[in-house]
Amino acid sequence: MKNKNGKKYDIAVIGGAGHVGLPLALVFASKGLKVLIHDINESSMSRIAAGKLPFIEHGAEPLLEKALKEDLLFFSTDPADISSAPALVVTIGTPVDEFHNPVHKAMKECLEPLLPHCSDNTLLVLRSTVFPGTTEWLDNYLKANGKNMHVAFCPERIVQGFAIKELQCLPQIISGTTEKAEKESAALFGMITDKLVPLKPIEAEFAKLFSNAYRYIQFATTNQFYTMTAAAGVDYHNVLEGIKKDYSRAADLPGPGFAAGPCLFKDTMQLAAFSNNQFSLGHAAMLVNEGLVMHMIGTLSKDHELENTTVGLLGMAFKADSDDIRSSLSYKMKKLLKFRVKELLTTDPHVTQDPSLLPADEVVEKSDVLVLCVPHQAYKGLDTKGKPVLDIWGFFRKPRKR
Ligand SMILES: NC(=O)c1ccc[n+]([C@@H]2O[C@H](COP(=O)([O-])OP(=O)(O)OC[C@H]3O[C@@H](n4cnc5c(N)ncnc54)[C@H](O)[C@@H]3O)[C@@H](O)[C@H]2O)c1
Q: Which atom of ligand 1 is the closest one to the Cα of 77?
A: 33
- Report the alpha-carbon distance of residue 325 to residue 353 in Å, rounded: 9
Nearest to 34 by CA among 88, 89, 82, 74: 74
pLDDT attached to residue 1: 39
Q: What digits encode the pLDDT tens for the residues 137-167?
A: 999 999 999 999 999 999 999 999 999 999 9
Residues shown for the chain: 402
Q: Do domains 11-203 and 257-390 have the same CATH topology?
A: yes
H helix runs in 245-381, sequence order: 264-274, 280-303, 329-338, 360-366
* Ligand 1 contact, 21 CB (< 6 A): yes
The residue nearest atom 7 of ligand 1, judged by CA position, is 156
Atom of ligand 1 nearest to the CA of 18: 21
* Mean of pLDDT values over 254-279: 95
Q: Are 103 and 96 in contact (CB under 8 A)?
A: yes
CATH C-level class of 257-390: alpha beta
Rounded Cα gap, residues 64 and 74, in angstroms: 11
Domain boundaries, the chain: 11-203, 226-252, 257-390
pTM for the model? 0.95
Q: What is the tens place of the pLDDT at every residue in 47-90?
A: 999 999 999 999 999 999 999 999 999 999 999 999 999 999 99
Neighbours of 303 (CB within 10 A): 11
CA dihedral 160, 164, 167, 168 (to 10 degrees): -150
Q: Is the distance from CB of 278 to CB of 289 less than 8 angstroms?
A: no
Reported CATH class of domain 11-203: alpha beta
Q: Is 17 in the pocket of ligand 1 (CB under 6 A)?
A: yes
Ligand 1 center to 128 CA (angstroms): 7
Q: Could you give the CA distance from residue 166 to residue 148 in angstroms, rounded to a whole number?
A: 33
